[in-house]
Amino acid sequence: MLILRFAAAHSRPLHMFEYDSSPFNWRPPMARRSAPLLTAAVLAGLFAASGPALGQGTGDPAAGERIARTWCANCHVASADQTTASPDVPTFKSLAEREDVTADGLSVFLVTPHPPMPDMHLTRDEIADVIAYIMSLADK
């Protein structure tokens, strides 16, 4: 890698930019050194501001049941008293009892649009409520 620098007695560049063989690599020297720190600081701020993750016990199962009866019961068996649903989709109880289904996995699944499931445009709190309801159905 070809690096051209003008150096002073203290081996510091006398100009603001360093040249690397790539024409797309013109950046101030400090930007190269501080980019990882800036990235880490931004990510830490985002994680701190996001609060508790979805599916970590923050939802209300009763509110989740109401949402499930309204939005999910057309395809899923969402409650014990429901008798009909689409045959190709899992029941909420069967989801809750699966070893590989977690609250965090459900939250990722529900916030990611995926056909054939329609996008219900639920808020994060509503999603947390539905997840709390589903997880409450497990016989664990």
3-class secondary structure per residue, the chain: CCCECCECCCCCECCCCCECCCCCCCCCHHHHHHHHHHHHHHHHHHHHHCCCCCCCCCCCHHHHHHHHHHHHCCCCCCCCCCCCCCCCCCCHHHHHHCCCCCHHHHHHHHHCCECCECCCCCCHHHHHHHHHHHHHCCCC
pLDDT above 90: percentage of residues in the chain = 37
Ranges for all domains in the chain classified under CATH 1.10.760: 61-136
CATH code at 61-136? 1.10.760
Residues linked to residue 7 through DSSP beta bridges, in sequence order: 13
Instruction: Specify the pLDDT at position 7.
Output: 43
CA pair distance 39, 37, nearest whole angstrom: 5
Question: Mean pLDDT for the chain?
Answer: 74
* pTM score: 0.58
Per-residue pLDDT tens over the stretch 64-96 = 999 999 999 989 999 989 988 888 899 999 999
